[in-house]
Amino acid sequence: MPRQARAPGAQSLRFAGEAGRAAPERRGRDDRETVTEAEYHLYIPEKNPLERPIMLDFDERWRRCLEQLDADGRRRRLRTAARLAGGRIDLAGRSLVDFSSNDYLGLSHHPELIRRTALFAERWGAGSGASRLVCGNLPPFTDVEAKLAQGKGAPAALVFVSGFQANASILPALFDSRVLGAEPLVYCDRLNHASLIHGCQAAGVRQIRFRHNDLGHLEQLLAAPNPGGRPRFIVTETVFSMDGDRADIAGLAALAERHGAFLYLDEAHATGVLGEGGFGLARGLAGPRCLVMGTFSKALGGFGAYAACGALLRDYLVNRCGGLIYATALPPAVLGAMDAALDLVPTLDAERARLAAHGDRLRAAMAEAGLDTGASSTQIVPVFLGDEARALAVASALEAEGLLGVAIRPPTVPAGTSRIRFALSARHSEEDVDRLIETLVRVVRKP
C-alpha cells in the first residue's frame, strides 16, 4: 500500500506514526493531515480494476522537445571550460580571450581571495553542516554582513546562497498577502532577469509589466485606480544583464515615494563596478521601503548573493524566506572569498576606470561600423544580430579566431534580438579589445 496519496481537492495525507515521525504542524498552504491506514480508502476514488494505466513514453517527449530546440537554433549544450588568469579561458585545449564571463574585475583569480578561501576552510572546515537557523550560522556570516551593510549604506544585510535563489525566495516572502493584508500589485520591467520573473511566479502574483526603462509608462500604471489601497511593489534591475543599460534609480525612487510603493532593486551586474566605492548604483537606498539585492559571483569574483535592507525586514526574511530557512548555509571557503572581495572593492577605482574605458572604446567602434549595441552604457556590450542562426555563426567565427563571445538567444532574450553579449573585464588589455573590434567587424561583414 502506498505511504501517501492525494485525492482530488484533498490535502496531502500522512499516516499516523509513519516511519516514527510526528505529523508536522499546520503551516498555511502546506497544511497536512494525519490519517490512519484504516481511513486511507476514504481518500482514494474507486477505480475500475479492468482499466489499464496509460503508459507515457517520457523519453520520447524529452526527445521531441530537444529536436524542436535544435530546429529553432535554441538547443544548449554544456562545455567544459577551464578559466585562466588574465581574462583567458581554456576550451577543448585552446586558450581563448574570454569576452563572456562576468568576472568584471578579475577578482576570481586575485591572490587575496584565494588565500582567504583557504584560510576560512582551514579554520571552519569544508562545509557549514546545516542551514543557518539550525547550526550553520558560522562566525564569518556576521562579519561579512556587517561589511556589506556598511558598503551598501544600509541598516542591515543578509547573505543568500545564489542570486537566482535569493530572488526566487525573497519575492514570495515579500508578496505574502497574509502578511500584507491584501494581494499586492507588482510592477515589473519587461526585461527583468529570469530569477525575478520566477520569484513573481512562485509568489502567484500577476506581473504588471512596464516598457523597458520607461518611467513614464510606469507612472501611468501606478496612477491607475487602486481600490482598497492594495500594497504596491516596483521590481527592476539597476544594470540589465543582457543589454548593459542602466535604470534611472533616482527616478524610480521618486516614483516609489510618490505612490507609496516598495522598491526592489537587483544590483547583480552593478555591484563592484559602479557607484561610490563600487557598491552599486543604489548605494544608500536600502531601508524600510527598499530592498537592494546583488551577488558575489560576478565582479566580486566568488559566489553567493545578498540582500541589503532595513533591520526589521532582515529579521522578517530570517523567519519567512524559504531560501534562507531551508537551504544549507554557504561553506566557509565561499565566505572567505566574500570577505576578501568586500575589503578589496573600495580600493579598485583604477580597475573600474579601465573597465569603463574598454566599454566606451568597444561601443564607439561598433557605432562607427554600423553595428547596434542598444542603450549599453556599462561593461556589458551586446551586439544585436537578429536571428539565432546568425548569432551562432558569428560566435563560431569568433571562437575560430581565438575569441569567446557567446551567442545569447531566446528565451533568454526576446525573439528577433539574438546577440553576442560581450562582457568586458579590467583584466583585458587595450590590445585585447582592439583585436576583438577588428575581428568582430570583419566576421559580421563577411558574406
Q: Which listed residue (266, 339, 388, 432) is catalytic?
A: 266
- CB-based burial, 108-129: b 16+ in 10 Å, e otherwise: bebebbbebbeebbeebeeebe
Q: Is 102 a catalytic residue?
A: yes
- Dist. CA 301–CA 110, nearest whole Å: 8
Q: 145, 237, 243, 245: which one is catalytic?
A: 237
Identity at 207, one-letter amino acid code:
Q
Residue in 376, 362, 301, 384 with CA at minimum distance from that of residue 336:
301
H/E stretch holding 313: helix 311-320
Q: Where are the beta strands (DSSP E) in 165-237?
A: 185-189, 207-210, 232-237
Kindly name the residue from 100, 102, 297, 425 that is annotated as catalytic. Answer: 102
Report in angstroms the alpha-carbon separations of 160 from 2, 122, 185, 324. Answer: 37, 22, 26, 7
> Any residues with CB less than 8 A from the CB of 203 and at least 6 apart, and which?
171, 172, 174, 175, 176, 186
> Which triple of cell numbers denotes residue 51?
482499466
Tell me the residue type at 50.
L
d(CA 442, CA 291): 44
Phi, psi of 52 (to 5 degrees): -95, 135
Catalytic site includes residue 266: yes
Long-range contacts from 205-214, C-beta under 8 angstroms, 24+ separation = 205/175, 212/240, 212/243, 213/189, 213/245, 213/247, 213/248, 213/375
Round to whole Å and give the CA distance between 188 and 207: 6
**Among the options 108, 167, 241, 377, which is catalytic?**
241
Q: State how far the Cα of 50 lies from the Cα of 247, in Å rounded to an integer.
A: 62
241 is catalytic: yes
Quote the cell numbers at residue 147.
561589511
Through-space distance between the first and last CA atoms of the chain, rounded to whole angstroms: 66
269, 297, 351, 428: the active-site residue: 269
How far is the C-alpha of 226 from the C-alpha of 231, rounded, in Å? Answer: 9
Q: Spot the catalytic one: 110, 152, 193, 428.
A: 193
**Of these residues, 152, 298, 358, 428, which one is catalytic?**
298
Residue 89 phi/psi, 5° resolution?
-145, 145
Cα separation, 150 vs 255, whole angstroms: 26
Question: Is 298 an active-site residue?
Answer: yes
Q: In sequence order, what are the beta bridge partners of 290?
A: 263, 287
In whole angstroms, what is the distance from residue 32 CA to residue 36 CA?
A: 13
The catalytic residue positions are 102, 193, 237, 241, 266, 269, 298
